[in-house]
Amino acid sequence: MQHKFKVGQMVDYSPNRLGLSASARGYEIVRLVPREGIDLFYRIKSPNEAFQRVAKEQELTRRNSE
Q: What is the pLDDT along the chain (66 residues), one digit of tens a residue?
A: 799 999 999 999 988 765 555 556 789 999 999 888 889 999 999 998 999 999 999 999 998 755
Per-residue pLDDT, 64: 75
Please give the angle made by the CA atoms of 48, 55 and 42, to the nearest 5 degrees: 95
Instruction: List beta partners, residue 36.
Output: 39
Which pTM does this prediction carry?
0.81
Per-residue pLDDT, 42: 97
Per-residue pLDDT, 23: 59
Domain ranges of the chain: 10-62
What is the DSSP annotation of 4-63? SS-TT-EEEE---STT----SS-EEEEEEEEEETTEEEEEEE-TT-SSEEEEEGGGEEEP
